[in-house]
Amino acid sequence: MLSKKNKEALFNPLSKDNPVLVQILGICSALAVTASLEPAIVMGISVICVLAFSNVIISFLRKTIPTNIRIIVQLVVVAALVIIVQQVLIAYNYDVSKQLSVFIGLIITNCILMGRLEAFAMHNRPWPSFLDGIGNGLGYTIVLVIVAFFRELLGSGKLFGYQVVPQWCYDHGYENNGLMILAPMALITVGCIIWVHRAHNKELQED
């Protein structure tokens, strides 16, 4: 079930080969949906589902796909899965689907998806591809959650929509940092996380 290679496929993307921190993929949506925690987590789960299943489907089809149109085939699979996720969300979690609005549709353009399909699923069997999809999705979600945690806490004093910064702080002159809500601070937060991450992983440092 979990040979050494499969373990690598599943766990490497969490830190050493993290799609956001190391490969710098999927940055755009990491900036867009991380103003608060709940949409960040739903977005993460959606990406995990789409990534895992598109990896499996492409991996099953990999021997039949004509090389010339492989990108189109990959796109069709990803687009179909994204539409399914979107429709299911509208039917069963309407509030969150409203919150995420266009960003679910934009999973299609998330570079992580095409990257994993091209780099992994086209050359590997379905089971490792599935694990790779889950791993990369999780790696992406972890970063999203960390960024959203700081942005929601510092930007609106809340976590999951609940007030955590007590009122007496505001009474004594504490202010929410409106900048944290804006996309530039998300980029800077991601930058800080990459900094900390590289400082801890010497082998990732470049000259």
Partner 1 sequence: MNKNSNIYQILYAAVMVLLVGTVLALIYMALKPKQNENIANDTRKQILSALHIAAPDDSQVKETYEKYIIQDLLVDRDGNIVDSAKNVAFDVKMKKNVKLPERQLPVMKCKMDDGSIKYVLPMYGAGLWGPIWGYVAVNEDGNTIYGANFSHEGETPGLGARIADKDFQDEFVDKHLFQEGEFKGVVVLKKGLKSVTGAEQIDALTGATITSLGVSAMLEDCLTPYKNFLMKLQGAGGAKCDAGPVETTESETNNNQPE
In the complex with partner 1, the residue whose CB is nearer, 14 or 73, is: 73
State the CB neighbour count (10 A cutoff) for residue 87.
12
Degrees, nearest 5: CA angle 111-143-35? 95
Q: Give min distance, CB of 182 to partner 1, in A.
A: 7
Q: Give min distance, CB of 102 to partner 1, in A.
A: 5
Q: Give min distance, CB of 50 to partner 1, in A.
A: 14
| Nearest CA among 101, 95, 106, 120 for reference residue 10 | 120
Interface with partner 1 by CB under 8 A: which residues? 35-36, 39, 64-69, 72-73, 76-77, 80, 83-84, 87-88, 90-92, 94, 98, 101-102, 155-156, 178, 181-182
In the complex with partner 1, the residue whose CB is nearer, 33 or 134, is: 33
Beta bridge partners of 17: none
In the complex with partner 1, the residue whose CB is nearer, 67 or 205, is: 67
State the CB neighbour count (10 A cutoff) for residue 148.
27
| Nearest CA among 28, 26, 42 for reference residue 160 | 42
Q: Give min distance, CB of 78 to partner 1, in A.
A: 11
In the complex with partner 1, the residue whose CB is nearer, 88 or 164, is: 88
Contact 116, 132 (CB under 8 A): yes
